[in-house]
Amino acid sequence: MIHRYVRRKRLLITLITGIFLSSVQVSAQGSRGWESFEGVKFESQYDERIDDYQLLPEFSDEILAKEGTVIELTGYYVPFDLEDGAVILSRYPYAQCFFCGNAGPESVAEVYFKQQQGKFLPDQLLSVSGILKLNTNDADHLNFILEEAELIDN
């Protein structure tokens, strides 16, 4: 029997790899930071570990240079229940975000806060700053991760 945690991870992986469509042209209010992710190309490759395909990023030198630096993102909270207190931030509201099939993996980021935060509402607009970590091939995480993140007043 598959544990609930593993099922959630598989659901997240399935959503990420199975619903890839081109990005919509609608820009999120206050989307600073997302523009640097736009040029990342993704290639679908089979991953034996998860027995499924996943989209692997091809990071440019420009985005690789930003890894380990502090960046800011303003986006919408996506209600996924992740371990370690992480949240998912989307450039677009939930109805238009990657998990609903209207954008690509460059429009979502996994955020780990320095300090535990209260509850957020679906589609709540958040501004955060944190240290950028790029994920090339770990199917258990998104490609763009902010660590030691803090909320910024809008």
Q: By C-alpha distance, which of 31, 61, 56 is closest to 44?
A: 56
Specify the higher pLDDT residue, 7 or 99: 99
- The per-residue DSSP string of 84-138 comes to GG-EEEESS-GGGSGGGTSS-GGGEEEEEESS------TT-EEEEEEEEEE-SS-
Instruction: With a cut of 90, say whether residue 144 has pLDDT above it.
Output: yes
Return the DSSP state at 34.
G
Percent of the chain residues past pLDDT 90, beyond the cut: 41
Q: Which candidate, 115, 33, 36, 35, places its Cα nearest to that of 72?
A: 33
Instruction: Tell me what pLDDT residue 148 has.
Output: 96
Please list the residues that pair with 126 across neighbouring strands.
Answer: 75
Dihedral of CA 31/37/42/46: which sign?
A: negative
Q: Domain spans of the chain? A: 4-152
CATH class of 4-152: mainly beta
| Residue 61 phi, psi dihedral angles, 5° rounding | -60, -35
48-60: pLDDT as tens digits? 888 888 888 999 9
Q: Cβ(34)–Cβ(15) under 8 Å?
A: no
- Check pLDDT > 90 for residue 82: no
Query: CB 31: neighbour CB atoms within 10 A?
Result: 15
- Please tell me the predicted confidence (pLDDT) of residue 102: 65
Q: How confident is the model at residue 147 (pLDDT cuts 50, 70, 90)?
A: very high
